Structure 1
Amino acid sequence: MRLVILGGGESGTGAALLAKQQGIDVFVSDAATIPADYKDLLINHQIPFEEGGHTIATIQSADEVIKSPGIPDKAIMVRQLRDHHIPIIDEIEFAARYATGKIIAITGSNGKSTTAHLIYHLLHTAGYHVALAGNIGYSFAKCLTKSSYDYYVLELSSFQLEGIRYFKPAIACLLNITPDHLDRYHYAIEAYAKVKLNILRNMGPLDHFIYNPSDAITTQYLQAQQVLPTLHPIDFPSTDSSNFNKESCSFAISKSPAALLGDHNRYNATVAVTAATLAGLPSETIAAALPKFCGLPHRLEWCGAPQGIDCYNDSKSTNIASTTAALLSFSQPIIWIAGGIDKGNTYSPLLPIVKERVKAIICLGKENSAIVKAFYPLGLPIHETDNLSSAIDSALSIARPGEVILLSPACASFDLFKNFEDRGNQFKDKVKERIKN
């Protein structure tokens, strides 16, 4: 078998390492420059590769192609491969062929990373031989080259679910479906949702599916299916605590489980507890482990209080639904720092929340017109900048002790920053500078 991998990043390199380990003839091709650390791995494992362009004849000689999740189906190379009837899969699909442990898969528009980390934390604390991989940390394929695990907790993006054929998790969690990455899906949420629901493609009655029954798209899909996994509907919390009951496991998750802010995180925690219980954890183990979990960076992360003003880094919020959850997590007046690369956002759902909770808006981006236009009718102070230091200083000049400065952009970061982590880290550093001064 000859395998060609398009893309030499974390996903592609991981797939190449696993293929080499399995004795497969593998070649990596990247249209851009392969990052140095990944290139070193390919060289050290004697895996042939090319960068800065594709050799068409070499790629079309493949029996199967793995494409990086970042490469859309509309890419010219992908279309050419399909015209030649060469099978194209995703690294997740490829890696699953060699995984002997059970897979717990988590997807959704928002909350994936927190939920996946919490499930991993609960299983790891209980002594399970468990790995965390997928859209966070190691790729699934690279994880398999390290060891064989009893459980794989996988965070999966819509991009990673596009190439699923036979992948089948034992437990799947679909947290929510809200508009995100619509530029990749012809600005149609139905197309985006179809990819998310691909996680159910091969699941049967002995498998378990955790989902939000108030999500209309998910429930409509389930009603149309003849073969389904065992269903575990989890309602979004509407009170100060979520009561969890599952056979022998019964306890309440408080308003701030595991020191996480917001109702959305109570929901994430309830999903994680459900998954851990289905994996066999006793309630006392879960109850003891929950308080020891710390939230993830860039997700409503408290990063200091200069002048007595609490500053929160929520840089991971790159869509409307995630920013909605962030704004609803505070009762204090908010100076909201928003903006970046718009991903096809419709800001109207935020209007009533912003009107009720936001004191001023700081637009941080190279192009702020969409946000200014959307929120100008509210009559709030709106400041525009393309400089993070200026944004923070403007926010501090408006805020009063006891109020909140919230970086929750609702947009991608690539206009001014390398990625959302870079945006969040710079925000934290600049807040710390102002505390020292």
Structure 2
Amino acid sequence: MAKRLVVLGGGESGVGTAILGKKKGYDVFVSDFGKIKENYKEVLSLNKLEWEEGKHTEALVLNADVVMKSPGIPDKAPIVKQLREKGIPVISEIEFASQYMAADTIGITGSNGKTTTTMLTHHLLEQARLKVGLAGNIGKSFAWQVAEGKFENYVLELSSFQLDGIVEYRPHIAVITNISPDHLDRYNYDYELYIAAKFRIVMNQTENDYLVYDADDETITKWLEKNSIRPQKIPFSISGNVTEGIYVEEENIKSNINNDGFIMPIRELSLEGKHNVKNAMAATAVAQLMRIRKQTIRESLSDFDGVEHRLEKVLKIQNVQYINDSKATNTNATFFALDSMTVPTVWIVGGVDKGNDYDELMQLVREKVKAIVCLGVDNQKIINAFGNVVDVVVETGSMVEAVRTAQQLAEKGDAVLLSPACASFDLFESYEDRGKQFKNAVQNL
């Protein structure tokens, strides 16, 4: 009899997993406690897949042999607890799909910078004419792409939630961009649990695999001192912490991976800011491990366009630059954004706070921020933190109002920066929706 695969969540990862599962001969059922989007319903129907929405029917879920849980569903959800009590394996899309592909994967995780690093790495490998897919937390579902079988390698952006659901998944090259407190609401507010989730990326790696990591990141280096791992370590550093792997010397990125010296002047990178130097180093390390020509790496690093909603320059109006950094959903991401500002800044901030500590931004806010525009349902914490530091703090309840207020507060030569440091779900569907509304509001000024 066919094994039963139950998919919890009818979004991108769920539908992709259902398609791959059917192709591999499973009896598949998709169950979503919320609503399934119309386009996904059409795909499920076209593929003759059974589904339900608005509920989890226990009789149809608890008879599974294996369950794929979408990353957005927490372990605390009652149906997940019931499955675990019955001893039914609950895995992630990454785990399910990786068993059906012969390809090597590059797995990229971290609290910040992972999308840029993932897209930049994919760009480098694609320019080198490798057949390489881009998936994980980004773009088309990994399982769906595996079902279509077009690629020989994959670059995967992996969240801690996806790593929570792996058992045997083993990336050939793992990258950890950095670790800072994020999503602690999903880890019982225990930072150590979150750190451990990130390091699950190395748990199945062997001596023939690699871990590329930021040697300037205290959380990463401390963990590596305490725990022994099998993969070969490839560190990168912009502050002279290493002379192996990749490092910065006299405004050049230098690498000695595979004893094959590589030099790239920082000024030739297409992306600006210190954090992007690190993202470029991580991508370069992967490209060198994949034996890509130095010339191709240099060209790719200098012509990469960047990521939407990540320090994206929108427009200059009356000599004020408007910047969309909606993807900054935690204080660490906003730290990088403020750090890269070179002119007086009107900062639009706020949303759903996941346990933020605003102290780490204090010095940068003092130096760079002339006015704060709060954009959230509850802005009290932001007002308490910065009310005495910044002369002007204004509360707004919509993106149009926030952008208009920022325009009034900005003078020639200033910048208006949307970098919320919070999740978007109080006023928006997603950080993408928030970023698009910002861009629309700016274009309508």
Smaller-chain TM-score bracket: over 0.9
Q: Which residue of 2 aligns with 1:371?
A: 382
What is the distance in 2 between the residues matched to 1:229 and 1:428? Answer: 43
Change (3 A) 1:417 1:39: same
Q: Which residue of 2 aligns with 1:183?
A: 185
Contact residue 2 and residue 64 of structure 1 kept, 8 A:
yes
After alignment, is 318-327 or 30-39 more displaced? 30-39
- Is residue 394 of structure 2 the alignment partner of residue 383 of structure 1? yes
Offset of residue 54 of structure 1: 1.1
Change (3 A) 1:105 1:414: same
- Is residue 266 of structure 2 the alignment partner of residue 257 of structure 1? no
What is the distance in 2 between the residues matched to 1:313 and 1:96? Answer: 35
Q: Which residue of 1 aligns with 2:299?
A: 288
What secondary structure is seen at the aligned counterpart in 1 of 2:107?
strand
Offset of residue 256 of structure 1: 6.2
What secondary structure is seen at the aligned counterpart in 2 of 1:362?
strand
Residue identity in the other structure for 2:13: S
Contact residue 209 and residue 229 of structure 1 kept, 8 A:
yes
What secondary structure is seen at the aligned counterpart in 1 of 2:256?
strand
- Is residue 64 of structure 2 the alignment partner of residue 62 of structure 1? yes
Matches within 5 A, 1:8-407: 8-236=10-238, 240-246=251-257, 247-255=259-267, 257-258=269-270, 260-407=271-418
Contact residue 244 and residue 252 of structure 1 kept, 8 A:
no
| CA deviation profile, 1:52-71 (whole Å, cap 9, x unmatched) | 11111221111111111111
1:423 counterpart (419, 434, 438): 434
What secondary structure is seen at the aligned counterpart in 2 of 1:251?
strand
Offset of residue 183 of structure 1: 1.0
Offset of residue 347 of structure 1: 0.4
What is the distance in 1 between the residues matched to 2:411 and 2:8? Answer: 52
Change (3 A) 1:45 1:301: same
Where do 5+ consecutive residues of structure 1 fail to align?
A: none
| CA deviation profile, 1:13-39 (whole Å, cap 9, x unmatched) | 110000111111111111112111111
Residue identity in the other structure for 1:45: N
Residue identity in the other structure for 1:252: M
Contact residue 254 and residue 261 of structure 2 kept, 8 A:
no
Query: Cα RMSD over matched residues?
Result: 1.4
Contact residue 339 and residue 364 of structure 1 kept, 8 A:
yes
Residue identity in the other structure for 1:39: K
What secondary structure is seen at the aligned counterpart in 2 of 1:183?
helix
Offset of residue 421 of structure 1: 0.8
What is the distance in 2 between the residues matched to 1:43 and 1:181? Answer: 34
What is the distance in 2 between the residues matched to 1:227 and 1:387? Answer: 48
Q: Which residue of 1 aligns with 2:443?
A: 432
Contact residue 312 and residue 406 of structure 1 kept, 8 A:
yes
TM-score normalized with structure 2 length: 0.95
* Identical pairs, percent: 46
After alignment, is 114-123 or 186-195 more displaced? 186-195
Q: Which residue of 1 aligns with 2:244?
A: none
What is the distance in 1 between the residues matched to 2:252 and 2:365? Answer: 25
| CA deviation profile, 1:259-318 (whole Å, cap 9, x unmatched) | x12100110011001111111101111112222210111000000111110110000001
What is the distance in 1 between the residues matched to 2:54 and 2:268? Answer: 48
What is the distance in 2 between the residues matched to 1:88 and 1:370? Answer: 37
Q: How many pairs align? A: 433
What is the distance in 2 between the residues matched to 1:317 and 1:427? Answer: 14
Residue identity in the other structure for 1:254: I
Residue identity in the other structure for 1:158: S
Offset of residue 237 of structure 1: 5.2
What secondary structure is seen at the aligned counterpart in 2 of 1:117?
helix
What secondary structure is seen at the aligned counterpart in 2 of 1:184?
helix
Contact residue 249 and residue 282 of structure 1 kept, 8 A:
no
